[in-house]
Structure 1
Amino acid sequence: MIRFLTQRLIFGAGVLLMLSAFVFFLFFVAPGDPARMIAGDKATEAQLMQIRKNLGVDRPIVVQYGSFLTRAISGDLGFSYRNQQPVAPIIVRRIPITLSLVLGGALLWLAIGIPMGIMSARFAGGLRDRIGQAFILVGLSFPTFVLGMMSLYLLYFIPKQAGFTLFPPGGYKALTTQPLLWAWHLVLPWTTLALTMAAVYARLTRGQMLDVMGEDYIRTARAKGLSERRVVWKHGLRAVLTPLVTQLGADIAMLLGGVIIIEQVYGLQGVGALAVQAVANQDRPIIIGVVLLGGVFIVISNIVVDLFYVLLDPRVR
């Protein structure tokens, strides 16, 4: 296990190293003035001179990259001249919002999608399967922003017109201060994210379960007299968990890099909203920071998925 984990950590470090090199050459070595790219068009000449000095553009490229990598490892992601503050604290303040949205939504979409997929597979061709298929089709067809706007209209605007508030329209309250208020503000974003993603997991679970339930060891379990529920949940589902964990790791890593649409619909100032603002303002230090953060999330998620492989599948061990 230690050797396996060490290999994955070394591989992840190599991926992050390649990502940092790509970001460095994209923003600092590409044609153009890197100081102007970082500071923006409104920067003064004095600011440009200071940025060039900080970047060390007069030094060899290898030395510049080494300095950039050292600062990034130490947590120094640069300085946002648009916001007049370091990049790292700006991103750190946004992470809890995106983390709350993604992890809460993940728990909800797993609670909906996996049972729905199992139900469809157990009763393939029947009424329950058709209900599950309809849910999958609607979930995959509905754009996220449409579902979000519909949720706001039905669960906020109409009750508001009737004189009471069922759910808030958006915003974020810190978990550490008021947990109930935190959850109340995130119910609609969680539901919007979960209904969209649950359709993906229901389809994946159904397809995998249909393949697994025809295997020899499933027939053997039934021949031993085990109940259908135990056969499905103990023997069938365990074999399905490996592809589900793979999909879950990829989805969480991607979403932690910024749930852009949902954060925009519900006014959540998370990493996705920050990335949109940075692109609109051409705030390249923040763009660099968000890209590197997304890479870190992807590497960590893949390492966690690999560890789950070892726990779930004896063949990997």
Structure 2
Amino acid sequence: MIAFLTRRLSFGVLVLFTLSAFVFLLFYVAPGDPARMIAGEKATAQQLAQIRENLGLDRPILVQYASFLGDALRGDLGFSYRNQQPVVDLIVRRIPVTVSLVLGGVVVWLAIGIPIGIMSARFAGGLRDRLGQVFILIGLSFPTFVLGMLALYTLYFLPRKNGFVLFPPGGYAPLLDDPLKWAWHLTLPWLTLALVTAAIYARLTRGQLLSVLGEDYIRTARAKGLSERRVVYKHGMRATLTALVTQLGADIAVMLGGVIVIEQVYGLQGVGSMAVQAVRNQDRPIIIGVVLLGGLFIVISNILVDLLYAALDPRTR
């Protein structure tokens, strides 16, 4: 197990190293003058020279990359001249919003999607299965921004028009300041994120569970007189969890890199909205920082998924 984990960690380090090289080449070696993009068209030659010196653009490429990699390993992702702040400080300030949104959404969509998938698989072809299929089709058909705007209209605008406030329009309240206000502000974003993603998990759970329930060991368990609930939850779901864990690990990793649409709709100042602003402003240090952060989340997520595989499936161990 230790050897397996060591191999996965080594592979993760290699992935991050490759990603860092790709990002560096894309933003610092590709055509275009980073100093000019930072300073603007009206910058003087002295200003451009100073920015190039500060960024180390006047040094050889390999020296620049070695310096970039060393700074990244120390937690220094550069300086945003647009915001006049270190990139790490900007990310640290924004990451609680995105983490709160994603983790809360995970809880909601698992609580909705998995039970619907189990119900559809247990009563395949019946009325409950058809209702589950309707939920899946609706969830997969609705774009996230449409569902978000619909939620704002029905749960914020209409109640406010009638003289009372059911939910706030958006924004973020820190968890440590007021947990209830934190949850109140994130309820609509959580529901918007969860209803779309829950449909994916309901479909995945239904498909995996249907295939498992046709296995020989499931028929043997039923022949022994075990209750249907025990057969489904103890034997069927245990085999289904591996596929769900894989999907969940990938989804969480990607979303922690920024839930762009949800953050834009509800005015949440998270990593996704910061990335959008950085792209608009051509703020390369922020873009690089967000990309590396997303890569780090993906590597960590894959390692955790592998560990969960070992816990769920003895054959892996």
TM-score band, normalised by shorter chain: over 0.9
Query: Equivalent residue for 2:7?
Result: 7
SS at match of 2:53: helix
Query: Equivalent residue for 2:192?
Result: 192
SS at match of 1:314: coil
In the TM superposition, residue 156 of structure 1 has moved relative to its aligned partner by 0.7
- In 1, are the aligned partners of 2:38 and 2:82 still within 8 Å (CA)? no
In the TM superposition, residue 30 of structure 1 has moved relative to its aligned partner by 1.5
- Alignment of 1:35 with 2:35, yes or no, is yes
In the TM superposition, residue 38 of structure 1 has moved relative to its aligned partner by 4.5
In the TM superposition, residue 237 of structure 1 has moved relative to its aligned partner by 0.2
Query: Equivalent residue for 1:56?
Result: 56
1:234 maps to amino acid: K
Query: Which ranges of structure 2 fall in alignment gaps of 5 or more residues?
Result: none
In the TM superposition, residue 219 of structure 1 has moved relative to its aligned partner by 0.7
Identity among equivalent pairs (%):
78
Aligned pairs, how many?
317
- In 1, are the aligned partners of 2:113 and 2:200 still within 8 Å (CA)? yes
Higher mean alpha-carbon deviation, 138-147 vs 39-48, is at: 39-48
Closer, same or farther: CA 48–209 of 1 in aligned 2, 3 Å = same
Report Cα offsets for 1:140-179 as digits up to 9, x if no partner. Answer: 0001111111111111111101111111110000001100
- In 2, are the aligned partners of 1:39 and 1:283 still within 8 Å (CA)? no
- Alpha-carbon separation, structure 2, partners of 1:12 and 1:26: 21
- Alignment of 1:279 with 2:279, yes or no, is yes
- Alignment of 1:228 with 2:220, yes or no, is no
2:118 maps to amino acid: I
Report Cα offsets for 1:32-63 as digits up to 9, x if no partner. Answer: 32322444445443332222223333433222
Query: Equivalent residue for 1:72?
Result: 72
- Alpha-carbon separation, structure 2, partners of 1:150 and 1:67: 48
Query: Equivalent residue for 1:176?
Result: 176
Higher mean alpha-carbon deviation, 13-22 vs 58-67, is at: 58-67
- Alignment of 1:144 with 2:144, yes or no, is yes
- Alpha-carbon separation, structure 2, partners of 1:306 and 1:219: 29
For normalisation by structure 1, the TM-score amounts to: 0.97
1:77 maps to amino acid: L
In the TM superposition, residue 315 of structure 1 has moved relative to its aligned partner by 1.0
- Alpha-carbon separation, structure 2, partners of 1:294 and 1:77: 13
SS at match of 1:175: coil
- Alpha-carbon separation, structure 2, partners of 1:221 and 1:190: 39
Closer, same or farther: CA 77–40 of 1 in aligned 2, 3 Å = farther
- In 1, are the aligned partners of 2:76 and 2:88 still within 8 Å (CA)? yes
- Alpha-carbon separation, structure 2, partners of 1:42 and 1:153: 44
Report Cα offsets for 1:84-113 as digits up to 9, x if no partner. Answer: 111110111000000000000001101110
For normalisation by structure 2, the TM-score amounts to: 0.97
SS at match of 1:290: helix
